[in-house]
A and B are shown apart, each in its own frame.
Chain A
Amino acid sequence: MEGWGAVYLQQVVNGLTIGSVYALIALGYTMVYGVLEMINFAHGDVFMVGSFVGLLVLALLAPSSSAAAGGGLLLVLGAVFLGAMASCGSLGVTIERVAYRPLRASSRLGPLISALGVSLFIQNAVMLLVGARPKAFPQLIPKQLYHVGGAVFTNVQVIILLASLLLMLALDQFVRRTRWGRAMRAVAQDAEAAGFMGVEVNSVVTLTFLLGSILAAGAGIMVGLYYGIVDFFMGYVAGLKAFTAAVLGGIGNLRGAMLGGLLLGLAESFGAGFVGAHWRDVIAFGVLITVLVLRPGGLLGEHLPEKV
């Protein structure tokens, strides 16, 4: 590796890759907080389930688990993404119906405790179903290395970055331009008033969980492809980091979650790369604390319902 410029560039690539995954998961936290003002702590585990459903779909499609060729590869990838997104979408919606909706009128702690319970339930259910040992995620996409300016990145990293950005852009436009998106924004602003104006609040909440879980499933597949190893506990740390990213950007703020995710990824890779690997989390959370001290609402401002 040549000079510092190359190292710098390499760490940017490292940080953006993991950061875009954080951002995808963070969107789920932030959307749910926007409409319900609750933190869905089971969201990280939905992301983990996404990885395992992807693994299951792969096992069903290609028992040999060898990479499919050319056009077949795109079909397989599509099937894996669709299968994981469909399952996680319904899982997210079910969690809301079963564990959160009955508690919506209770204290703010009710849904939080319930979410922690759901998280433990999902983790242990997956552990009992597939075992505690890490599983190999087949390398569907034949890896290619690109050397640019002394840095190295793989086609998988490019795919992750592009796919994440595409999903985020789609969500952003959906919320800004469609009727459903407007309904979501209305409920986020004032659920009661939106209800009076004929918005079906419960449908909007369901939609929010559906979208967040679909994005988490996408992230789950990408992480599987990127690292090639998945286990039942992977949602815990990833969820924690993504939640941090959401707070960093401003909880409840969609673009804030995207920015927060990318920034956290960069902070981690620069921290681990230039200061020391064991400083990684110290630096990531140090950045969070600093931002919150200077800007309590996060980088792009917290989304606060306008109570008049």
Chain B
Amino acid sequence: MRRRVAGNLWIIGGLLLLALGLATGAVAQQQKVVIAVTSPQSGPQAAWGSELIRGAELALAEYDPKKLKFKYEILPLDDQADPKVGLTVANKLKVDKDVMGVIGPWNSGVAIPASPVYSEAKLPLFAIASDPKLTRQGFTNIFRTVSTNDFQAIGGEAYLVGELKKKRVAIIHDNTIPGVTISEIFRDMAKKDKAEIVMFEGVSWGERDWSPVLTSLKQKNADALYLVTVFADVALAMKQMKDLGMNLTVLGPDGMYSDELITLGGPAVEGACATALGADVNKLPSASKFVSAFKAKYNESPQQYSVFAYEDMHILIKAIEKAGKKDRAAILKAVREVTPYDGALGRTAFNGRGDTVNQVIGIFCVKDGKWGYLKTADIPKDRMPK
């Protein structure tokens, strides 16, 4: 069965190539421009990575090919979420004369080591990776429509302390560098907003017995817990909180935003909330056109990240058309000229580093055994990136 499908795929692929060949013959005066999409397209993260290709394809389909100055092609490249493969991909794209823009990488661990190569190649890199460090290396070719991880802390704090008015907050992180970084940003913001930090502790991944640290938390009369760890550990912690008769608001960054949390935690994780990069795209008014197009084409609702690739593709096409020539430096300059751009994510404008000044953090909570979208965090204006 699988073999037959594969065989069919070859035939379809061949026909597509033939059609492409005929098409290029028809519009020979249009030069070819390639936009690469690099992300994990195989392995455990393939579902996330492949969504980017869909987003880019949808954006391209909204243009009439005859009215464009160039003939655009999307080139999917599987970086396998592996930094080494990501470097190979970057070096390959660097020397490919037709590549004028890149969407991805999806993983920060892939994007950061590959970024010097892309910078040297002057390739516009629209990263989906969310580690703040990526745009703080002084490169001028990196742009992000996606929100960054530091804003998970800022947005989470805006909701927990700013909106829910929690006064005694405990913070437990997972002892990883990103975990500690996010926790420290959250702590500093919470202190600014006059909340008391009653605990700041680390519990490493895989620790099963949370009871000692929870016992000491229980004594501190906290009214909220900012929990920065992976879903399995959040499930363990919340189960044991229940066993200790504890009941406080739990919020954390998107490491816990997974259906597995509910599978593992059951009723104990009811009421837990997580921040995520971006709103629920299916409930975002500005993205309604994108969502209906996505559903029409792929017969399912878009997940979290495809909308960013869609937006990136639009900005790239607009910039390349504006530059009017296959010159990467000119296109980089044009990206600045075609933004602010009003699209599915609302108004996207890039600051000096290349991060969007429209940082959107969605709050999702477990309600009746399901993740539900609550709202976007109201981040104070003065905390948005300058």
The reply on A7 being an interface residue by CB < 8 A is yes
Chain A residues closer than 8 Å to B202, beta-carbon distance: 277-278
Chain B residues closer than 8 Å to A229, beta-carbon distance: 208, 232, 235-236, 239, 264
Binary A-proximity of B359-384 (CB < 8 A = 1, otherwise 0): 00000000000000000000000000
The reply on A197 being an interface residue by CB < 8 A is no
Once the chains bind, are B212 and A272 in contact (CB under 8 Å)? yes
Query: Count of A residues near B, CB < 8 Å?
Result: 40
Query: Count of B residues near A, CB < 8 Å?
Result: 30
Once the chains bind, are B215 and A10 in contact (CB under 8 Å)? yes
B 213-261 contacts with A by CB, 8 A: 213, 215-216, 218-219, 232, 235-236, 239-240, 242-245, 260
How many A-B pairs have beta carbons closer than 8 Å: the answer is 93
Nearest chain-A residue to B215 (Cβ)? Answer: A10
Once the chains bind, are B203 and A1 in contact (CB under 8 Å)? no
Quick one: which of B201, B243, B263, B264 contacts A278, CB cutoff 8 A?
Answer: B201
Chain A residues closer than 8 Å to B263, beta-carbon distance: 136
Chain B residues closer than 8 Å to A133, beta-carbon distance: 260
Binary A-proximity of B130-173 (CB < 8 A = 1, otherwise 0): 00000000000000000000000000000000000000000010
Once the chains bind, are B209 and A136 in contact (CB under 8 Å)? no
Once the chains bind, are A1 and B208 in contact (CB under 8 Å)? no
Once the chains bind, are A14 and B239 in contact (CB under 8 Å)? no
The reply on A121 being an interface residue by CB < 8 A is no
Once the chains bind, are B212 and A270 in contact (CB under 8 Å)? yes
Once the chains bind, are A273 and B206 in contact (CB under 8 Å)? no
Once the chains bind, are A269 and B211 in contact (CB under 8 Å)? yes
The reply on A18 being an interface residue by CB < 8 A is yes
Give Cα A156 to B203, complex, Å. 24
B 163-216 contacts with A by CB, 8 A: 172, 175, 201-204, 206-209, 211-213, 215-216
Chain B residues closer than 8 Å to A280, beta-carbon distance: 207, 212
The reply on B266 being an interface residue by CB < 8 A is yes
Quick one: which of B203, B207, B215 contacts A11, CB cutoff 8 A?
Answer: B215
A 242-264 contacts with B by CB, 8 A: none
Once the chains bind, are A273 and B266 in contact (CB under 8 Å)? no
Quick one: which of B213, B219, B264 contacts A136, CB cutoff 8 A?
Answer: B264
Q: A136-B263, A229-B232 are in contact. Are A1 and B218 (CB under 8 A)?
A: yes
Give the distance to chain A from B302, nearest Cβ to Cβ, in Å.
Answer: 24
Q: A134-B232, A223-B208, A229-B236 are in contact. Are A274 and B216 (CB under 8 A)?
A: yes
The reply on A114 being an interface residue by CB < 8 A is no
- Which residues of B does A touch, CB under 8 Å? 172, 175, 201-204, 206-209, 211-213, 215-216, 218-219, 232, 235-236, 239-240, 242-245, 260, 263-264, 266
Of all A-B residue pairs in the complex, the 4 with the closest CB atoms, nearest first, are A272-B212, A14-B211, A273-B212, A277-B213
- Which residues of A does B touch, CB under 8 Å? 1, 7, 10-11, 14-15, 17-18, 133-136, 139, 143, 145, 147, 152-154, 156-157, 223, 227-229, 231, 233-234, 237, 268-274, 276-278, 280
